[in-house]
Every structure is written in structure tokens, then in C-alpha cells.
């Protein structure tokens, strides 16, 4: 879920946008349909990288950032190969666990 925080990005920018064409979420690989909002993340750290996250994956990423601020940072694609309960020693909060069942395009609470 997260990586140890040892170096900061030179640039980290998140911009919320509304899709005018289909995009693919860099985390869950689901299609972001026209009309739906998503986040563009621009990173400069040993090179330049840009990725897109759907609202669901963005909410998960934002939650993970609160768990160990200044010590851990979530994988940008939420692709770390670890389970929440194994990594953090507890089950995720209900509102975060419920995101696993939200279908693309459904309104998030």
C-alpha cells in the first residue's frame, strides 16, 4: 500500500478534471467515461511522470496518505502487492472498504 518516505518528489501536482473522452485509470485500469471526474497526477522525480486516477482510487490514495504522514507514501498506482490489514495491522474503515464495491461511474459517498 505504501512506501517508506525517504525522498520527496521535486514536483507533485494533483488536478481534478472532467473527462471529455475516455481515459484509463492508472491504478484500477477501469475506464473513466466522458463526464466523470478524475485526477491527473504530475510527478517529477528522477524523470517526469503523469498518471490518471478515477475518483474511487483517488479517495483510497488520499486515505492512505493520512495513515503515516511524513513516514509513508502510498504507491501512486496503488500497486504494492500488500493487503491493508497485513500492512497496517487492522481492517480498513468501512467507508474505504466499501470503495472496493463501487462500480465505475457510481457516485461516491
Q: In 28-98, which ranges are E strands?
A: 31-32, 37-44, 48-54, 72-74
Residue 109 lies in a domain: no
Predicted TM-score (pTM) of this structure? 0.85
Please state the domain count of the chain. Answer: 1
User: Of 6-10, 66-70, 78-82, 90-94, which gets the smallest average pLDDT?
Assistant: 6-10
- The boundaries of the domain holding residue 55 are 2-101
pLDDT greater than 60 at residue 5: no
pLDDT (0 to 100) of residue 2: 47
Residue 89 lies in a domain: yes
Q: Is residue 63 part of a domain?
A: yes
* 83 pLDDT tier (thresholds 50, 70, 90): confident
User: Is 106 a domain residue?
Assistant: no
Q: Is 51 left (phi over 0), alpha (psi -120 to 50) or beta?
A: beta
Amino acid at each position: 500500500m505504501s512506501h517508506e518516505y525517504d525522498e520527496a518528489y521535486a514536483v507533485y501536482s494533483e488536478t481534478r478534471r472532467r473527462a471529455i473522452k475516455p481515459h484509463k485509470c492508472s491504478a484500477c485500469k477501469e475506464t473513466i467515461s466522458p463526464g466523470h471526474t478524475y485526477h491527473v497526477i504530475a510527478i517529477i522525480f528522477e524523470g517526469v511522470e503523469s498518471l490518471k486516477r478515477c475518483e474511487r482510487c483517488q479517495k483510497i490514495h488520499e486515505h492512505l496518505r493520512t495513515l503515516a504522514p511524513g513516514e509513508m507514501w502510498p504507491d501512486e498506482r496503488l500497486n504494492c502487492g500488500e493487503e491493508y490489514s497485513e500492512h497496517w495491522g487492522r481492517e480498513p474503515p468501512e467507508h474505504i472498504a466499501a470503495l472496493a464495491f463501487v462500480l465505475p461511474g457510481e457516485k461516491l459517498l
